[in-house]
Structure 1
Amino acid sequence: MGLDYSYEVFLPARGVAGALAGLPALAPPRRDVPPLAVTLPGRGRVDLPYTSWFKSDPVDCSAGGDLRLDLSVLCGPDPAVDAYAAESHLEPVGPGRFDIGYVYLTVRFAPALHPRHASLQFTAATSRMSRLFEESAGIREAFTGFTAAVGGVCCLLDTESETSRVRWLDGGPADETVPGPRFPGYRELVAAWPG
């Protein structure tokens, strides 16, 4: 089994619909698929230009649970992205922007550890992409920029190790570990979030 590194964005649960609506800034819409109808907890509905498990069938999350989306992420160039693009034979999709390929998004509407906050976990599809998540400042800026844009309270990089890297916290970029000196565990990190 390969590496499955991920960026996880946490935001107040009431902001999930807005975050999903803001996804096209991070992940370009798929024009070759019909809109995906998603019913959210509380009975709200959004139509998304992505697939769920590579299908466009309506998804009902009104009773909670998780939502899984398949999407591609855009990022700016940096040495790690340039090397990845060269190895993968990727062409820029716009001025200084690369589509790095499929990323799997899991939306958790109210996880037990932090029920007032939802999480959007973006998982790399390959081991090479996982290493790119860890090495690239452009990828980090794409996810922390998305976190800021959707009113997120925290963004973590999970590298499948004993610690996660905090990349966004308290309204700005961060570089700390959990567990670490400031946050001995995840409960202490969650306790620091507003709302």
Structure 2
Amino acid sequence: MGLIYGYDIYVRPRKVAGVLVRLAELAPPARTVPPLEITLPGSDRVVLPFTSNFASDPVDCSASSTLELDMSLMFDADEALREYARTGGPGQDAAGRIPIGYVYATIRFASLLHPGYASVECWAATSAMSRLFARSAGIRKAFTDLTADSGGVCCLFDTGDGAPEQVCWLNGEPTRETVPGPRFPDQGALVATWPDPGEQTSALPLRGPGTA
């Protein structure tokens, strides 16, 4: 089995739609698949330029615990992305971005770390792409910014191979902690720092406009 690296974004369930909309903003402008209509728990609806299990049929998640997406995403070019493109990936566009795909996403409406938070887990399709995820500062920035702009509580880079997870964003601030590490000996210690998901106060500063 190859490497499976990914970025895991944790948000309050009502903010999942915002994460998906921002992921859609990273899609290549020349959409090559029919629009995918998703009905989320709570009846929020989003239309995305992706597929779900490689199909474009409408997906009703109102009674589901998970959603699967197949995505192509654009990232601002850095040296790691340029090297990846030179070895067979698609080239850089006029805006200085490089498309990467497939990137798979598993959305859990009750996350494994805390059932009061949802998770959006974006993971690489191949070992080569996993190594790119580990090297690219541009990809890390894109997922960290997406977490911040969506009001996410935490963003983790997870290698899935037993190595320490890297905390990229936590409670409104970028960070470089690891789990396990000096500050967080285990995942429970990390989750203990998250706000109560039922709090109605504005607990997290948001980077982008238009976030509820």
TM-score (norm. length: structure 1): 0.93
Specify the SS of the correspondent of 2:68. strand
Structure 1 residue 160 and structure 2 residue 149: aligned? no
Q: Deviations over 1:54-103 (max 9, x none)?
A: 10112121113110011112111222111111112421123221102210
Letter in 1 for 2:46: V
Q: Tell me the equivalent position of 2:206.
A: none
- 1:1-16 aligned at under 5 Å gives the runs 1-16=1-16
Alpha-carbon shift at residue 125 of structure 1 (Å): 0.7
Deviation of 1:112 (Å): 4.6
Q: How large is the Cα RMSD of the aligned pairs?
A: 1.6
Cα 1:112/1:102, change in 2 over 3 Å: closer
Report how far residue 170 of structure 1 moved: 2.6
Q: For residues 88-145 of structure 1, what are the alpha-carbon distances to aligned partners after superposition, in whole Å with 9 as ceiling and x for unaligned?
A: 2421123221102210011111125312211100010110000000111111111111
Identical columns (%): 56
Matched, 1:123 2:144: no
| Aligned match of 1:173 | 174
The match for 1:184 is 185
1 CA distance for matches of 2:21 and 2:79? 30
Q: Cα offset for 1:184? A: 1.4
Give the TM-score, by structure 2 length: 0.86
CA distance 1:137–1:128, shift in 2 (3 Å): same
Indicate the structure with greater strand content: 1
- TM-superposed CA distance for 1:45, in Å, is 2.1
User: What does 1:84-163 correspond to in 2, within 5 Å?
Assistant: 84-162=84-162, 163=164
Which amino acid is 1:55 matched to? A
Q: Answer yes or no: is the 8 Å Cα contact 1:26–1:146 preserved in 2.
A: no
Task: Give the match for residue 67 of structure 1.
Answer: 67
Give me the whole-angstrom Cα distance separating, in 2, the residues matched to 1:126 and 1:7: 14
Q: Unmatched 5+ residue regions in structure 1?
A: none
Q: After TM superposition, give the deviation of residue 28 of structure 1 in Å.
A: 3.3
Structure 2 unpaired stretches of 5+: 197-212
Structure 1 equivalent of residue 209 of structure 2: none
- Pair 1:32–1:95, CA change in 2 (3 A): closer
